[in-house]
Structures are given as structure tokens and as C-alpha cells.
């Protein structure tokens, strides 16, 4: 088995364009909800402790839930409960940088070195040749720090839930992986390193942490009461779904990894949210509520992720044509114990959000495929 990075964006984006699905003749929210609910039940049968989600058509929201929120107490899964959203955090981070550009405080075509002199200057990498835009659309050419064997295994084993990491230390870990294999702007290659640096740029420009800026600019104005950006506390509080891990893959042993390190990913993947809040954020992002037209256009300017795929990557969000012919914006998030994703139409009128409460850092599992198929089928039914 191969250990993969804790986001499976590339694999999921490709799957969005490749899965075969049948679109129901009746297109409405109840039909979509039934498809998502059936997928949730299938996911639990595949071994997930819980699968939750929602479908939204206009102002009509319907929920799906199967399984239990915690295996010890056997409390039924609550579709309004919190979960770790992993790399769905990236859209929040990119939104802050685009807002800063709209305010004239930076340009996303500024070099990384302009704001972080010396931060990327080792092993052939040069921050003066990499732009903020290239960080946000993953064309910087920078390596993934999670590919460090010792670091990745410590995270996979949840051996350091309270460990602190300076952002620059994570960047340095990435730069040591290997020399550049492509010039900046040349190739799409997903790396959490990009968004650690993006968070560092936010701090350099504003003097505040990415968490503080996301709270002030997005969470509070949108009233996302179930959304937080933990920066030190690795525990969850209130109404939340427990996250679990099958060590090494699906098997008889399952571990509760709800308490897990948040500084491993920071602005690349540390946030906690709910299905309702992710839908509200996605709609606001899609419809220009968070960004003026120029920055909205930049957000949605995509680069191809693969030569044989219709999927493209914008600035913290992806775009793909589904087999039913419809297009969807969205992203996924995968951190220890949790896998989630969201799909939205261009106008924000149609949305599907889903979360699974098991992730063991392996992509392409049957549970992922079955529940992802259900999300796509539900979206196509709207």
C-alpha cells in the first residue's frame, strides 16, 4: 500500500470527470436527497462509522445521515455536527488573499520573495520566481512536505497530536525533498506547501494569523457559527462527529483519531466546519458575496490538472464536468479521520456537501468511491 498525502484532490478531481452515473429523470431536491442518503448507507456498509451530508436547491435544504457520531456511545450521526474539513480550508485561505488584492495591499502576481524574503531559497528553489498565484493554483513546482517519511508516518500514526510546527519549518521540510522537476507555472502539482506559504503571506501583509483574518473576513460576516480555525487545540468541542482510522487499511481494528494535530496543515487544512456552513460559504464564494468581480474571475481561472481530464484547478477550488454533462465547482478535504467534499453550481443554486468519518491516508477506497458517486448522482439530480 502506498501512503498518500492527506488530500486526494487530484484523484478526486479526475474521478469527478470519469465516474459513470445515471441521472434520474425527475430532477428535484427530494430525489437528490434519496440518492445521497442511499450513498450514506452504502458508505456505512463499506465500513465508515458515519456519513452525513446535504443537498441544497435554491433555499430548500435536505439532509442525509447514516451511522453513528461516535462508536463508543453509538449516538446517531447528526448531519449538522462539526467535522474536520481538511483541504477545503484552502478556499478560505485563497479568498483572504484575493480580498487583500482587491484592497490594493498585494497582487497575486507578486513574487513569494517580495513578501517572504529567504523563505524559499534552497535546493534550487527560488521564491523570486514563484508568484502568489502559482501557490494558490498549485503550479509553483514546490514539493509536498508530507512526503517526508518520518514526518508523514508520525502524522499517520497520530503520534504527535499536540506537536507545534513553525510554518517555515514545514516549508524547509518540503524544500529538502528533491530539486525542482519543473519551472514555476509549468505544471500542476498539488502540494500543501503552497498553502502554508500562502498563510505566511497573509501574515506578512496583515500582521495577523491566517486564522484571525479568516475569522474576521469570512466566518463572522457570513455567520458561520459551526466553523472554526483551531491553531493549537487539537480537540473538538460541542456537537461533533468523531473521526476514525483503520490503521493500514480496512480491517478489524479502528482507532479514534478525533484529537489530531492541527498545525501539521494550518492554512492548508486545519479548519473545522459543518455541512450547512460549507454550503453557505460555497454559495457566498460562487456568487461574488466575498469577492469583487475582478477577483472572482481570478478565483475561477483554472489550469488543467491532467492532459486527459476535463477538470481544472482555480485558486483553492476546482472545476469539472460530470458525466451527466453538468459542471460543478468544489473541492475535497482529507485529514486523519475525515474525508469531505462539496459541489456547487456556478450560481450557487445547487449544492451537495458530504463528509465521511474515516480516513487512513489512502485514496481510492471503496467507501470513497461509493460515497463520491452518491454525491455526484445527487448533484446531477438537482
User: How many other CB atoms are found less than 10 A from the CB of residue 354?
Assistant: 28
Q: β-strands 327-335, 318-321: how paired? A: antiparallel
Closest alpha carbon to 341 in 94, 57, 16, 37:
16
Catalytic residue chosen out of the listed positions 87, 260, 344, 375: 87
Q: DSSP assignment of 290-340, as one string?
A: SS-HHHHHHHT--EES-TT-S-EE-SS-EEEE-TTS-EEEEEEEEETTEEE
Within 10 Å of residue 365's Cβ, how many Cβ atoms? 21
Give the angle 340-341-342 at the CA atoms, nearest 5°: 140
Question: C-alpha cell of 292?
Answer: 469583487
Q: Tell me the three cell numbers of residue 26.
A: 425527475
* Terminal CA-CA length for the chain: 37
Q: Is 340 a catalytic residue?
A: no
**CB neighbours of 237 closer than 8 A, spacing ≥ 6?**
none
Closest to 87 measured CA to CA, from 158, 3, 28, 10: 10
DSSP state of 162: T
The residues annotated as belonging to the active site are: 87
Amino acid at each position: 500500500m502506498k501512503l498518500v498525502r492527506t488530500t486526494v484532490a487530484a484523484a478526486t478531481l479526475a474521478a469527478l470527470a470519469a465516474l459513470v452515473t445515471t441521472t434520474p429523470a425527475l430532477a428535484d431536491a427530494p430525489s437528490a436527497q434519496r440518492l445521497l442518503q442511499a450513498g450514506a448507507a452504502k458508505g456505512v456498509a463499506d465500513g465508515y462509522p458515519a456519513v452525513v451530508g446535504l443537498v441544497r436547491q435554491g433555499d430548500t435544504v435536505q439532509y442525509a445521515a447514516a451511522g453513528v457520531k461516535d462508536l463508543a456511545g453509538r449516538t446517531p450521526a447528526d448531519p449538522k455536527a462539526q467535522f474536520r474539513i481538511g483541504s477545503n480550508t484552502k478556499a478560505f485561505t485563497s479568498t483572504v488573499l484575493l480580498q487583500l488584492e482587491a484592497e490594493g495591499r498585494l497582487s497575486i502576481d507578486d513574487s513569494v520573495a517580495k513578501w517572504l524574503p529567504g523563505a524559499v531559497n534552497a535546493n534550487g528553489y527560488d521564491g523570486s520566481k514563484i508568484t502568489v498565484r502559482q501557490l494558490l493554483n498549485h503550479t509553483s513546482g514546490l514539493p509536498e512536505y508530507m512526503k517526508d517519511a518520518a514526518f508523514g508516518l508520525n502524522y499517520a500514526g497520530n503520534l504527535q497530536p499536540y506537536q507545534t510546527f513553525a510554518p517555515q519549518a514545514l516549508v524547509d521540510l518540503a524544500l529538502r525533498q528533491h530539486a525542482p522537476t519543473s519551472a514555476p507555472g509549468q505544471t500542476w502539482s498539488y502540494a500543501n506547501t503552497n498553502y502554508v506559504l500562502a498563510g505566511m503571506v497573509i501574515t506578512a501583509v496583515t500582521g495577523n494569523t491566517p486564522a484571525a483574518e479568516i475569522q474576521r473576513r469570512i466566518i463572522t460576516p457570513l455567520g458561520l457559527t459551526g466553523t472554526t480555525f483551531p491553531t493549537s487545540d487539537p480537540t473538538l468541542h460541542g456537537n461533533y462527529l468523531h473521526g476514525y482510522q483503520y490503521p493500514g487499511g480496512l480491517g478489524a481494528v479502528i482507532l479514534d483519531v478525533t484529537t489530531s494535530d492541527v498545525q501539521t496543515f494550518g492554512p492548508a487544512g486545519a479548519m473545522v466546519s459543518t455541512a450547512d456552513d460549507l454550503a453557505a460559504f460555497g454559495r457566498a464564494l460562487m456568487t461574488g458575496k466575498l469577492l469583487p468581480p475582478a477577483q472572482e474571475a481570478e478565483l475561477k481561472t483554472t489550469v488543467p490538472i491532467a492532459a486527459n481530464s476535463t477538470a481544472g484547478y482555480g485558486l483553492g477550488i476546482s472545476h469539472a464536468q460530470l458525466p451527466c454533462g453538468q459542471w460543478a465547482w468544489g473541492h475535497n478535504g482529507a485529514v486523519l479521520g475525515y474525508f469531505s467534499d462539496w459541489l456547487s453550481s456556478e450560481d450557487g443554486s445547487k449544492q451537495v456537501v458530504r463528509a465521511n468519518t474515516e480516513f487512513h491516508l489512502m485514496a481510492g477506497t471503496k467507501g470513497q468511491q461509493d460515497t463520491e458517486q452518491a454525491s455526484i448522482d445527487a448533484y446531477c439530480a438537482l
